[in-house]
Each structure stands twice: as C-alpha cells, then as structure tokens.
Structure 1
C-alpha cells in the first residue's frame, strides 16, 4: 500500500535518519519507521496525475509554421504506425486541437443556420428572390479576399480566423443591402434602370467606403499586435481586412452590373 510520509527536508537527504523517523501512535511511545516497513531506494514518477479516475501523463508540443490540424493528423498517423500501446493504455489528443475540433463542429451547425436566416431576412426586406440572391453573393466575394489574405500572411485557418469570416459575412451583406436598397428607391422615383444603377452606385460610394475603411482602421492594432494574445487577434484582423478589400471593390463594381442584368424581372 503506497503511503506518503512527511518530515523535515533533511530526512530525504540522509537515508539513515529517514529510517529512524519516529511515528506517533495512539498508545505507547513512538516507533521507528523501520519497525513498520522495509525501506529501499527506487526510481519512480515525480508525481502521479489522475483524470476521471485514471492515471495520465501529459505530452505537450508547440506548433509553428504550419496549421495545427495537419500536424496532429500527421502525428496521429505516426503514433499509430510506430507505437504499440500496452493493454489498458490509450492516447487522447487534447489542448487547442480538441478545442478547435469542437468549435468546427459547432460552426458546421451554426453557420448554415445563420446563412439561411440572412437570406430569409433579405428576401423579406426586398420581396424578391433575385435581389436577395444578388446581395447574398457578396458573402463569397468577401470570403475570397479573406482566404487570399490568410495565404499572403502565411496564416492558417483557425477558430479566430473562422470568427473573422463570420463577422465578414455581416459586413458584406450590409454593404450590399445599402446599395440595392438605394437602387430600389431610385427606381420607385421613376428613374430608368440604367440611371438608377449608375447614380445609386455613385451616391452610395462614400457610405460603403466609410464602413469598410473605419472597420479596417479599427482592426489595425490587432493586425500588428505582438504581445500575449496576438496569435488570436492577428488571424481575425487579417481575414476581416482582406475580405473588406475584395468585398468593397466587388460590391461597388460587380453588384451594380449584376443588378442591371438580373436585379428586376422582365415584367418590371
């Protein structure tokens, strides 16, 4: 039965003194430790950690210059090929990898629901599936810029980057909504389609640019952060700023062209 015996620190350095350690008993004088146990010096673990009633040993690793998921996938394949675990042993991959996998599973559910709600709101706002789809196309246009920005910065897709993509979707939809809504206002005033698209794009140039530039300037401190937490802040800022560049440019150029071609039905 393993027991923990405490005493002065000098006892651990002198085996003879440790063997003569006096243990108090409920009745009678103290007795020496050697009267109760046979002492021998052996090697053993410095500490024993337990989780859920099982012993475990934690092995940590810091990943640099590559994405975490591919590193863990490669490590899992190497361990499965070269290490044969004894009976009763198992390996659990945790830490940031486990958190990222959980977040990916949640995002796989939340993002489609959010996209569906966005499209439903757009359809309710415009009363037109054509115009709702045109505004909805701003989302992939924004995502393209975020992906290229990550690649140019040599960053990898992570949970903070995924959060940046989600924020980017909202900004992209807002810019498209402002532009298409103004097109409809000009059409309601009796303007021709070509005139409404041309003047609407010019009039909404400043609001769209201001929205994108203010958001980008606000994220610059996160982009150049170097202290603790920068590994979370930087990918988010890279995705949003890169996506704003592509989304704003394509919104002001491509969306008016698409609206003129597909924005209203033939009956209009």
Structure 2
C-alpha cells in the first residue's frame, strides 16, 4: 500500500514538545519561588503565594469546559501560554497582599489582623487591574473569523483564570498567609511583639 501519515504545523510542534511543557511550568514555579524567597528573606512565606496559584489555574479549565467545549477548544499551545502568563499575574496579586500583611505584622499587629488589613489595603488596586485586564481580553474571548480558535483559546483561558483567581484569591491568600506566617514564626522562634495601643 505504501501510505503513511505525519503531523505538520502546530500539531507537529505540540507532539514534539509535549513533554517539555511540564519542565517549563516547573522552571517558572522555581523562579517565582526563589525570587520570593529573596524578597521575603524566608523559605516558608513564598508558599503563601505559590499555594494560591492553583485556584486561578483551575479557573482556566473550568472556563474551557464551559465556553470552549462547543468550539472544540482544548488544552492547546495557546492555553499553555495563558497558563504561564497567569502564573505571573496571579502571583502579583498574592505578592501585593502578602507584602502588605508582612509590613503590618512587623508594625506589631497580630497575624490575623495583619492578613485582613493587608487584604483590605490592596483589594481595590487588585480588583481594578484584574478587571481592566479581563475587559481587555473579552474581544479575544468572543473572537470570530480567521484565527478565532487561537484568539478564543487565549481569551477564554486568561479570562477564566484571572476572574476565578481574583474573586477567590482575595479570600484564599490571607488565609494562606496566616497559616504560613504562623509556621514561619513557630520554626524560627521569632515572635513580633504586639503594638502598644
């Protein structure tokens, strides 16, 4: 018969590089962890940021299931690019809350007060930047015509991840900060004295 088949274009790239995407994600997370360890001067507190990322990344797959299934959008290269981008954007929101909570803890507030006050202080800027980003991606999410699959893939995954990561993250991040700050103080033995009123 003499017939054979071969992949071409984007499919060839995906099949050839499929195993490398896990390595890329691990390297991204490692860089974020090392940078945060240097910023916080701690190996424990960066986990408050990293542990909040799966919430937003889960939103990608929820939105793909809701909005992408009818258009045949699956976990393609565009979705994977969105996931890498969201690691940075969602980490930025978590870093803002944790950084302000750390400052308030150093001023003598209790861990819970520091977490709540840090989240309240950064809530408006986080919501403003996140929703501006989401509104900017809506045209991609509802794209039509030539190249619409790629545009929709990026739009749906980025909007889903950012929306879920922002709405749920502002509640999850202070909780994670409380847990990891308590662990940090228990291991290091350093306690911050309460501020005098």
State the TM-score, normalized to the length of structure 1: 0.64
**Is residue 254 of structure 1 aligned with residue 172 of structure 2?**
yes
In the alignment, what sits opposite 1:193?
Answer: 111
CA contact (8 A) 1:161 1:236 kept: yes
- Please give the per-residue CA displacement for 1:111-160, whole angstroms capped at 9, x wherever unaligned: 22121111111111112222101101122111110110101111311111
In the alignment, what sits opposite 1:208?
Answer: 126
CA contact (8 A) 2:111 2:181 kept: no
In the TM superposition, 1:39-188 aligns within 5 A as 85-86=1-2, 90-153=4-67, 154=69, 155-188=73-106
CA contact (8 A) 1:131 1:259 kept: yes
Alignment partner of 2:137 out of 219, 236, 251: 219
Aligned mates of 2:120, 2:102 — CA distance in 1:
14
Aligned mates of 1:229, 1:90 — CA distance in 2:
29
In the alignment, what sits opposite 1:19?
Answer: none
Aligned mates of 2:123, 2:45 — CA distance in 1:
19
Aligned mates of 2:15, 2:128 — CA distance in 1:
36
Q: Rg larger in 1 or in 2?
A: 1
Aligned mates of 2:46, 2:169 — CA distance in 1:
14
- Please give the per-residue CA displacement for 1:187-210, whole angstroms capped at 9, x wherever unaligned: 122222222112111111101111
Aligned mates of 2:75, 2:112 — CA distance in 1:
41
CA contact (8 A) 1:103 1:159 kept: no
Q: CA deviation at 1:224?
A: 1.3
Aligned mates of 2:22, 2:179 — CA distance in 1:
34
Give the total of aligned pairs.
Answer: 182
Aligned mates of 2:129, 2:42 — CA distance in 1:
25
* Structure 2: segments with no counterpart, 5+ residues: 192-197
| Secondary structure class of the residue paired with 2:53 | helix
Q: CA deviation at 1:255?
A: 1.5
| Secondary structure class of the residue paired with 1:263 | helix
| Secondary structure class of the residue paired with 2:45 | helix
* Structure 1: segments with no counterpart, 5+ residues: 1-84
CA contact (8 A) 1:145 1:247 kept: yes
Relative contact order, higher structure (CA 8 A, sep 6+)? 2
CA contact (8 A) 1:149 1:242 kept: yes
Q: CA deviation at 1:103?
A: 4.2
